[in-house]
Amino acid sequence: MNTQPTLLSSLKEHLQLARELRHLEIQFYPQKCKGVWQCYNVCPVGCWTPDYARRKVIFHDPEKCIACGACVLQCPEDAIELK
Amino acid sequence: MATVFMKWLETSPKNYDRGINILTLGRIGRVKERISNSYVHPGMHVLEIGCGTGTLTTMMAAKGATVTGIDASPAMLSEAEKKVTQQKLEERVNLKYMDATLIGERFAQASFDLVVSTLVFSELPPDEQRYVLQACKKLLAPGGRLLIADEVVPSQALAKLAFYLVRLPLVLVTWLLTRTSTAVLRDFEASLRQAGFHTYRAASYLGNSLVLYESHLTQGIPPEVLAGERQAELPAGVVGRLEHQVTLRTLLLDLWLLFFRIIPPYPKIRPGLYALGNPDTRSPVLVTGNFDLTVRRLVQAIDSRLDAWVLVADSAGINVWCAAGGGYFTAEKVIAALKASNLEQVVKHHALILPQLCANGVDGWRIRQETGWGVHWGPARAVDIPAYLAGRRKKTDEMRWVRFPLKDRLEMVTVTLGFYGLLILLPVFLFWRPMFWPVAFSLLGLSYFYAVVHPWLPGRDGLYKSIPLTIVALAGLFVYIALGNSLPTGQLFHWIVGLTGLSVFTAAELQGMSPLMRGEQANWGWEALIGLSLGAIYWLIPLITGWR
């Protein structure tokens, strides 16, 4: 049965996941943003800043991102992706 | 004895606050928060007997009540006056120099909605206690309440023993540091009943040794109180009550979790709806995962500060952030816990407060659509929940952002060492015994040093941070030699290779325990490569140079 994961294959998979995580980047589509600000509300590191005047959000500090994915999941407009 | 202590107190009002805080292990602050948060409303007339330095007086006035504070110590009152002026509460606070026994004569009948007294009755002789309680009865308006918080001797034998074991050294330390002490009450509940009050324990702290008694004049509770009245019995569908307590079990569990937190099976608690304090139909609902430590830390952070319902969802015994990231804590789990509980009947609102850090795995919109309940993302840390709720669910950036303070860094280093320490030190102990202590000390020293200096080491990636750490470690080695200690060349070589290896490993691995990590496991390849190169150097150089 070669469907059973071996120690080496799980380790490889784990490393692959970690590598992907490391290179994931936020893709933000401002035209879809309707100013719900859930991303700002849930981001634990402060990447997002609300733009109250234009009812949008600004992806202000990309270098702080830890790729946790909270903003992607909570955005009701699908305006954020993690790729 | 109490009078002697009181003499000291009069001369040292500033020490008093500190002393009381030590003596009650900080719980007196919680009692005061509880009183001002749960019982004080704008427009109320409140009498505080023994206002001391005015901590509670100003808290209640800030809530919008008109507060009269009396105290028998001019020094205390002048401290209180300073606090009132500082907070610009002069209009709502009236401070009077007066003994407690005089309140019946100096104030009009039925002129207060609330009479409050903390740590005063224990200082009064029994006759005066009775006299003052009778006066309180006269002063309370219809529907008014008397709140008395004081230190009491627990009634159960075992609790009594624990009480004295803890209290005696505490009294000594407090006395030495601040020249402050307090007396304790005995059978006070009976005294309140004798005085004609309907009394119950609204909250108790420190193993029932610090109690908040809530007393009413009439058994029939007025309608406006009834709406938010506490339920002594838990409603159907509630699993149980959560309470912050320290037992042998929690101590052993904490010790185990400090070192071996990452090793399964994880201690968990039964999912379901729990009561925290005395929640009612309007109390907030806090959602969390079922890792034992998560629930206990949540309870510790808010117990006796506020009343709430806690909905524990199944997160496979993992903390909420990791469980949400790993797919163990999802919207479905929260919905399942909500449906399985009797929450619809237990509370009259439809608001769930979720920990912000599970937003990476729990789809808030899905919960809203499936259940009709509103989802509010609470603060990142449980300790901020009282402030978050007091501010009507307004979250500041401070509450939103994850930090990695020294205390957490030290804790996480210990957690990491529990696992990796064993992984490294056990083989060394078994196969390379002479090197055990040097390796153990180097590993521990490097790890805790790294934990302390972590924020100041350049770079975000652990592998980069390992470079300055290695430099510091090797510098330490050379300082050791420069101080006149000689090491044979061969041994120096061992130390250089060993310290470099441990530094790289420590920095790279510990960074993975940081909440700000990002795919640190990708470094394993590099770590292995560095390890192999160091191994090669270790094996080749002596071969070439002919050391050993």
Structural domains in chain B? 2-226 (3.40.50.150), 238-400 (3.40.50.11600), 406-545 (no CATH)
Higher-confidence residue of B362 and A64: namely B362
pLDDT value of position B142: 86
B522:A21 CB<8 A: yes
Distance from CA of B526 to the nearest CA of A (A): 11
**Region A58-74 average pLDDT:** 90
Residues of A in contact with B360 (CB under 8 A): 42, 68-70, 73
The count of other CB atoms within 10 Å of the CB of residue A18 is 18
Q: What is the least distance, in Å, from the CA of B403 to any CA of chain A?
A: 8
Chain B, 72 to 91: residues with Cβ < 8 Å from chain A are: none
Q: Which are the contacts of B75, defined by CB distance < 8 A and separation ≥ 6?
A: B10, B11, B13
Name the minimum distance, in Å, from the CA of B447 to any CA of chain A: 23
The model's pTM is: 0.66
Distances (CA, A) of B157 to B149, B153, B163, B263, B345: 22, 10, 10, 38, 39
Look at B423 and A78; give whichever has higher pLDDT. A78
Q: Write the residue in B380, B401, B522 that is nearest to A18 by C-beta.
A: B522
Q: What is the pLDDT of residue B219?
A: 56
Render each residue's pLDDT in chain B as its tens digit; 548 residues. 343 444 444 446 566 666 666 667 677 888 888 898 888 989 999 999 999 889 999 999 999 999 999 998 888 899 899 999 999 999 999 999 988 888 988 899 989 999 999 988 887 788 888 889 999 999 998 888 999 998 877 666 666 666 676 666 666 666 555 555 556 677 788 888 888 888 877 877 776 678 888 888 865 444 334 334 444 578 888 888 898 888 888 889 999 998 888 777 889 898 999 999 888 899 999 999 999 999 999 999 987 788 899 999 999 888 999 889 888 899 999 999 998 898 999 999 999 999 999 999 999 999 999 999 999 999 999 999 999 998 888 899 999 999 889 999 999 899 888 887 888 888 889 988 888 998 899 999 999 999 999 888 887 777 888 899 999 999 999 898 888 888 788 788 888 998 998 898 888 877 777 777 665 666 777 888 888 898 888 888 877 877 65
ipTM score for this prediction: 0.87
**CATH, domain A25-82, list 1.10.579.10, 3.40.190.100, 3.30.70.20, 3.30.450.20:** 3.30.70.20
Give CA–CA dist B461/A78, Å, rounded: 30
A20–B521: do the CB atoms touch at under 8 Å?
no
Å between A60 CA and nearest CA of chain B: 14
Q: Is B359 on the interface with A (CB under 8 A)?
A: yes
Which of A23, A34, A66 to mutate to probe the B interface, most B CBs <10 Å? A66
- Sequence spans of domains, chain A: 25-82
A-B contacts at Cβ under 8 angstroms: 71
Q: Do A14 and B525 touch (CB under 8 A)?
A: no
Tell me which chain B residues have a C-beta less than 8 angstroms from the C-beta of A66.
515-518
Please check whether residue B365 is in contact with residue B325, taking contact to mean a CB–CB distance below 8 angstroms.
no
DSSP B213-262: EEEES-SSPPHHHHTTPPPSSPPTTEEEEE-----HHHHHHHHHHHHHTT
Q: Which residues in chain B are closer than 8 Å to A23, comparing Cβ atoms?
A: 519
- Residues in chain A closer than 8 A to B402 (CB atoms): 44-45
Q: Which residue has the higher pLDDT, A21 or B93?
A: B93
Quote the CA–CA distance of B122 and B188 in Å, as a whole number.
9
- 3-class secondary structure per residue, B94-117: EEEECCHHHHHHHCCCCCEEEEEE
Decide: helix, strand or coil at residue B491: helix
Using CA atoms of B274, B277, B282, B285 in order, give the dihedral in degrees to the nearest 10: -40
Residue of A nearest to B516 (CA): A66
